[in-house]
Each structure stands twice: as structure tokens, then as C-alpha cells.
Structure 1
Amino acid sequence: MISLTRRSLLASASAALVIPALPRVARAATMPVLFVGPATAQIAPDGNNLTDVWAYGSESSAGTIPGPEIRVRAGERVQRRLSNGLPQPTAVHWHGIRIDNAMDGAAGLTQDPVQPGDTFDYDFIAPDPGTYWYHSHDRSWEQVARGLAGPLIVEEAEPWTGQDGAATREMTVMLTDWRLEASGAIEEASFGDIRDWAHGGRLGNVVTVNGRSDAELEVNAGERLRLRLINAATARIMPLRIEEHDATLIALDGHPVAPRATGQIVLAPAQRADIVIDCTGKPGSKAALMVDAGRNQWVQVAALAYSDTAPVPAIEGPVRPLPMTMDHALDLKNAQREEILMEGGAMGSMRGARLNGVESDFRQLVAAKRAWAFNGIAGDMENPAFRAPRGRTVHVTLRNDTSWPHGIHLHGHHFEILTRNGQPDAYRDRRDTVFVAPEEVVEIAFNADNPGKWLLHCHMLGHQVAGMRTWFEVG
């Protein structure tokens, strides 16, 4: 294996106001370019070979890992012209943002894939503050694994940072994993491997933080720091902790929560968490950011690196809550009830499912690279799982009848977690992606207030392409 350190090797204003009034042609002429194409990055530690990746960049700068951070305030417009320099079609999904259906980027459902050499204009308002991200949504099981992901940060309309009890500074921390060969190249032979897809997904052997497997996050003693954590891996669930630091959770998947102490954060693929830490270390010291690589094998993947400067005055008292901005009024008494039954995978009991309109046994499904099903259908997209009138509360029971965990993501909406295995959820957090353990039943509910056709799928991206996907329509 490549010479990797233990920390990297894992066991497995006014101008904007007039923009909407301008003709679309005039707006497009000044739209910033989000170029996607081949690039190189130092994924393995310094001294090892560069890795050929696919990356987001701009018209004037090369692609980076992760892609360039896009940062706006709530209520502001995001405009990017995707320019495809890949040898494959692609599309961009703006994960977690409640936007117009036509801008969602779900290739094959909300837009046609952008062919090599072509462009597509994304133009939408980011309504809600929070930590989001953008990534490929065409052949995402391969394209995200090659590097196509970046952070999308929507700041509060009125700044939270710097207020009494709030953080003094913030930092985006984007995690992902890579499956590398000894040469440092991405291991490509396993792309599309049904054996990975039928198990836990295509797990990598190197974790990076902000594109580095030896990342050091510079902090100052005494400051109160907001960390925006993003799991951009295609399959790896990441339990996280920071040694010798207490953390306060303030948001999940972009949605504020009442501040609560947390010693460990567990992020399924696509999930995000905002935490606040008081930097109590000494100048010049370091503290490890740890990931559980599996079976309680904790590995350092980055470090908080304290500067040598004198400590700044510490902030006393509890962490200030984030402002609650989303209206999630739910009418549970008159809710439309739906169920998503997850079946299949290795060590599962599924005997067969419907594929291309035909009942197929498990051997036939595997031959077609389908190993999972929702409600007895192995990824067919001809009909929706359900339809709901606009404004209706929808209550969905997610029933995981498999031997593997799944991260279920709803496009275009946030939902409230009601129960787990029949027991009321302790916090009733609102999310866009929920972790569902093997044999677990999770009940969620959301207000179907965003019209259009929306994907519902597992964000273990190999599971998605191998059958664990469907869609719903809001009228």
C-alpha cells in the first residue's frame, strides 16, 4: 500500500436587487462559470504522487478538491453556469437547498444531463441559512468518488458570528474518503462493482479533510469556533470526535437545533452538522480530529493546530442558539401516510423485485446490477412512490428490512424525525437526510410545500444506482 500515515489510512447588494428584472440572456452573459474537468490533487500526504481527479473550478482557475466554496446570505441568488469538460455527461445537485424543481440538478428527472462540451445555467434563490453542499448527480457513484463535490454555505441574513455567546469565527470542514492504489491513483476497477453496491458501498482507504489527508486546521487559543462539518463520502459513515475538546451541536443538515452538548457526531453520507468548540488548548499544541474507521478503531484524519500567539479572551457562558428561520408547521392529524420498505443487499431476505416492469428473481437482479428495492421495485423510475397535494403534511414510515444501514435523502424538503422503532425521537430534529440502521423503522413527516418531481433515495450512492431510488410528486 502507498506510504500513508496512520491519520490517513483507514481500516476499510444593489446590483443584486435588479438582477431578477433583467432578461435571462443579459443575466447569463455575466454568470460565473463552474467548470468541471480533470485535475490533479495531493490526496496522499506530501512526498507521495499526485492523484488524477475530477474537480470543480472556474473559467480562470483549475479545479480544486473540494470544489470552490460558494457562500451567500439567506435570500440571495446563486448563479453558476456549469461548463462540462468531462468525458461523461454530468449535472449539479444543490444538496439540502429548498429551490425550484428545475434547478435541483437531478439528471433524468428535473433536467437532461449536461453533455461533454455543453453548459447549463443554474439560477436560484438560497432561502434558508445553513451548511449545504453541491455535488454531481449523474453517475454520482463514480463522479463524486472522483472528487465532484464542494461546500455551499448560506449565512444568516443577520450575522450570528460575533454576537454575545456566539462563535468568534467559523471554519468549513469537508470530509470524504478515497480508494487509492499504491501509486496514489484512484482505484478504478471497482467502479460499478455490484459486490460493493450490495454491501456497505464503495468504501475508501484514505480520508481527507478539505482535500488533505494530513490537514491541520489552524486555530487560536481562547476563541470560540463554529465548525461546519460535511460528509461528502459516497458510502462511509463517519463517527467524529475532537480529542480534549467539548462540542456543542447547533445545527443538523443546515437546520438549527437547540444547542446541546455532544461528545461524538455521527454523519452518514451527505449529512452535515454545525458544532461549536471552545479552543481551550495551549498555544503551539495540537488536538486530533478522529474518525471511527470501523469496530471502534479510531484514526486521526486531521488536527486542530494552535498558533503560537497569545490566547484571546475566552467567551463565557452557554452557546448562543442560531435563529430559527424555517416554518415547519405540520398537520399530523390529517397527514397523508406513506411507507418506504427497503429490501435487498447481501445477507438479505429479498427473493426478487420488479425491474423494468417485470418481476425478476434475485439472480436476475444481480445480473442487471440491481441489488436493492423500494416497495418491491428495483430502481424503476417510471412511476412515483406517491403524489401529494401542495401544502399537505406527508407522514412517511421508512422500514429498513436489510442487514445494512442507509442514509435516506429527500430532495427539495426538510422533514422532522418523529419516531425510531416506535419510540418518540428525543429531539425531533429536522433534516434532509436520515440515518436508518439495519432492521430499524423510522417515521418522518414533512410539509409538501415545494411543487415538482423530487428524488427520494439512499445516499450511499452505490445503493442508489443499484435500486434504492424512487421519486415523489408535489402538486
Structure 2
Amino acid sequence: MKRRTFLASTSALAFLPRTVFAAGEMLRLKAEAVVQQVLPEGEGTTAMLGFNGAMPGPELRLRRGVRAEVEVQNALEEGTAVHWHGIRLENRMDGVPMLTQELIQPGARMTYSYVPPDSGTYWYHSHYISHEQVARGMMGPLIIEDDVPPDVDHDITVLLADWRLQEDGSLINEFSDMHSVAHGGYMGNFARGFLSQSQVSIGDRVRLRLINAATNRIFPLQISGAAGSIVALDGMALAVPRALTDITLAPAQRADLIVDVQEDVAFDMLMRDGSFRLADLAAVGANSDRQPTPIRALAAPDLPKPNTPTQHLTLTMMGGAMGGRHGGDNIWAFNNVSDLQPEPFAAFQRGETVRITLVNDTSFPHGIHLHGHHFYEVDADGALGDLRDTTLVEARASRDIICVFDNPGKWLLHCHMLSHAVGGMRTWVTVA
């Protein structure tokens, strides 16, 4: 990616329209072809896929503990399915073809019905040929609102993604070329952030919800023009807010920040030769009413507490360019096996606490995502660390996670570098 910079002015900013759920109301998403202004205003447009005529799709805002119903209409020329990423929902609503549901065929509809148990920042995206459908734009923010919102002046979503574009704005259709799949995955030559709001005031206290919706790109982020704290990761509130420094988000990971605006807020991707501007949030005027106060923790998530693990498993990532041989029949593998098999990687009883060592025996980082659950990353000293649904494991490194498998069903476990997933790095577990 070249250091091409643009300013997201009001005229160029692509807004994320919000759809707030009312009890008993059916929400509707229409998967369809769209044309989007991805490049700066005045340059070429991009033919993509999206929801409700836009890419990204509308920001859905649901209430914790209130059943939501979302009807998905497929107006594409191919099948699709929608995954509600990070939501601990009923297995049959998870949106994974061949594991939890049949494809939504062209012209057909499916209603997803679930009760979100946790407030926080999530997102939705296609889970059918997702390395291509997500790269074409089939994603959107999913916000589960707090029972008692934090004291902020604005609540702003920032969705980040990248695309491989021609100079005229058209997509380069190389979503699964062998080189990309065997290396870091499909990477765009242009990236940007989509914001739900374009302006704030100096002195405002703002909640920023960052979502990495890219198919493969890891975003090392620097946020300037504001000071504050990280208050949640992958939708789960931190027990103690963490000082805001540079943030790294693997594909599918999220971070919630609460910050005080000091000037125009800039979102930059750090690169070897400098930085790349993803988005700007303009500071217009000043808020003289807001008084500085400590940033408080969000409400703690209500998840089961781990017991002593009854199983300690190892999941080894194998293959890819500059990787060793393995027994799978695709480019990548877990434990010498590629792609979904008739038998699961592991079987658990409901409520069982399990420790899994994730070993990255490859030359590339991987973001490992578990459906239907959150898990604890284990710190270097063996203590329980952050709650995540996607963890980044660097090349030639390992990480332990501990999970209470309390959600019955068949759950996908895969690399969320979606090129690696289609290249074989996916398996599943079952919870009785």
C-alpha cells in the first residue's frame, strides 16, 4: 500500500446509517449489488456487494436481553448466509452453511432470531465464500446497547477495511489467487474507515467503536487529537480501563475507546515508511459544559467463570509459504488436517472449562476466531487476561486460551484471515 492520504470531509464521508431495534419489530437486510464511493469523492466508484443499497451495510443497534429478528433477503446471483460475529447466540442462528444452516439461495429469505446476551461492539458479515463476499463488501456494524450507557456526548462507530482497486475504482477480482492465500492473504492497495458521524466539538467525551472488517489486513492504528482509555475489547468490557496508546486490530477484532477530544481526531494506519490516513473526525467548536472526570469501566460482562480445565488441547497452525509439510490436502492446516471434516476437532460437555494451546508453526500471523463463545487469553505469567472472540497469534509464536464451553451446538473455529480459512485453516468443535 502506498502512502496515499485523503481527508474524509463531510462531502466525502460515507456514513453508517443506524437502524435501532424496537421490541417486536422485524429488521430487514437485503443482500444486493451496490455501487460505493470507496475512493475519495471525485474519483471512480466501485461496484460491490452490500446490504440495503450500501457498503458497509446499516449499523444495527439491538438491546441486550431482547429478542431480535432480522430477515435477510438474498437478491444476489449466488447463495449467502449472515454470521453475527461475537454474539453468543443459539447455534442454529450462527450463519455458517454446512454446519448450522442451509444456504440462503438467490431470491430466498431467512429470518435470524436471537437474544443478544452481552452489550458491546460486534459486527455482521457473510459467511459463505466469505473471503470473496466480505471482500466485496458484505459486512456492517452490530451494536448491542448498554443497559446504562456511559456518560459520553457521542457514540461513534469506525469500521475499517481495505480493497484491491484499479485506478478507476473497480475491484481487482483476485480474492483467492494462490500467492495471496499462501502468504498473508488478499490485501488491498487502498484502505479507509467509515464513520457513523463526521463532527464533534473540542472538549466532547466520545465513545469510539473500532471494528476491523478487513478480510486479512492487520491494522496497527494510531489515534491522534484525543486522549482517553480503552474500555472494551471484542465487545467485552475491561475490568479497569487501559491507557490509550497505539492499537493493533487483527481481522474481526474490535476495540471500544472513551476519549476526550482535543482537536481534529485522526485515524492512521502505521506503516514501515510512515502512516496512511484512514479517516478524520472533525472538531468544530468547543463544548464548554463538559467537565473532566475519570473514565469509568463499563458494566462487567456476565460470563461463566472458568474452573480447573478438564482438557488441555493443542491446535497447531501449519502450512503456507515458507511453512513445513503437513498432512492436510489444502494450503493450510490445523494439526495436519485441512478444512472441515466429518468429526470435530474436539467435543465438550456443556459448562466444561478447557485450555487450548494455539501454536503458530507458520511464517505468518493468524487471527483465530471461535464462534458462539468468548475465551480468556492467558498472560505470560499464567493469569487470565483479556476476554476475546478472536486472538492474534504471531508467526512462530504460541498462545494459550481458556474457554468455558457453555453454548451447545456445532461451532466453527478458524483463522479470520479469510484467505487462510478458504486455504484450509478451519475446523469445528461440538458442545453437548
Band the TM-score falls in, shorter-chain normalisation: over 0.9
Superposition map of 1:387-406 within 5 A:
387-406=347-366
Residue 32 of structure 1: aligned partner: 27
Partner of 2:269 in structure 1?
291
Structure 1 residues 132 and 145 mapped into 2: Cα distance closer, same or farther (>3 Å)? same
Deviations 1:216-243 (A, max 9, x none): 8311111111100000000000011112
Deviation at 1:393, TM superposition (A): 0.4
Structure 2: which amino acid aligns with 1:251?
A
Cα 1:71–1:6, aligned 2, differ >3 Å: closer, same or farther?
closer
* Aligned with residue 344 of structure 1, among 305, 319, 344: 319
- Superposed, which structure 2 residues align to 1:252-263 within 5 Å? 252-257=233-238, 258-263=240-245
| 2: CA distance, partners of 1:200 / 1:324 | 35
Contact 1:65/1:210 (8 A) holds in 2: no
Distance in 1 (CA, whole Å) between partners of 2:159 and 2:291 is: 26
1:348/1:297 CA distance change after superposition, 3 Å: farther
Contact 1:342–1:399 (CA<8 Å) still a contact in 2? yes
The corresponding residue for 1:374 is 334
Check whether the contact 1:35–1:84 (CA below 8 A) recurs between aligned residues: yes
- 1:296 CA displacement: 5.7
- Counterparts of 1:98 and 1:404 in 2: how far apart (Å)? 29
| Structure 1 contact 2–184 (Cα < 8 Å) conserved | no
Q: Summarize deviations over 1:412-459 as a string: whole Å, max 9, x none.
A: 000001135xx436x700010000001111000111100000000000
More helix by share: 1
Q: Deviations over 1:224-280 (max 9, x none)?
A: 111000000000000111124323000000000020102111100000000111112
Task: Quote how far apart the aligned CAs of 1:339 are.
Answer: 1.1
Q: 1:354 aligns with which of 301, 304, 328?
A: 328
Deviation per residue, 1:121-142 (Å, 9 max, x gap): 1011111100000000000000
TM alignment of 1:422-437, pairs within 5 A: 423-424=381-382, 428-437=385-394
Q: Give the conservation status (yes or no) of the 8 Å contact 1:98–1:450.
A: yes
Q: CA deviation at 1:328?
A: 3.1
Are 2:396 and 1:419 equivalent residues in the alignment? no
> 1:328–1:446: 8 Å Cα contact kept in structure 2?
no
Is 1:209 paired with 2:193? Answer: yes
Greater fraction of residues in strand:
2
Q: Give the alignment of 1:116-131 within 5 angstroms.
A: 116-131=106-121
Alignment partners' CA distance in 1, 2:291 and 2:371: 38
**Structure-2 change in CA distance of 1:116 and 1:160 (3 Å):** same
Q: Which amino acid aligns with 1:303?
A: D
- 1:160 partner letter: P
Match of 2:253 among 258, 261, 271: 271
Between stretches 175-184 and 403-412, larger displacement belongs to 175-184
- 2:41 matches 1:46: yes
Aligned letter for 1:217? S
Alpha-carbon contact 1:216-1:303 (below 8 Å) kept: no
Q: Is the 8 A contact 1:216 1:305 kept in 2?
A: no
Between structure 1 and structure 2, the one with the greater Rg is: 1
Query: Could you tell me whether the CA contact under 8 Å between 1:247 and 1:263 is conserved in 2?
Result: no
Q: Tell me, yes or no, if the aligned pair for 1:128 and 1:325 is still in contact at 8 Å.
A: yes
Structure 1 runs not aligned, ≥5 long: 20-29, 58-62, 356-369
Q: Secondary structure at the match of 1:428?
A: strand
- Structure 2: give runs of 5+ residues left out of the alignment: 9-19
TM-score (norm 1): 0.84
| SS of aligned partner of 2:26 | coil
For normalisation by structure 2, the TM-score amounts to 0.93
Q: How many residues align?
A: 419
Does the 8 Å contact 1:419/1:444 carry over to 2? no
Q: Is the Cα contact below 8 Å between 1:35 and 1:83 reproduced in 2?
A: yes
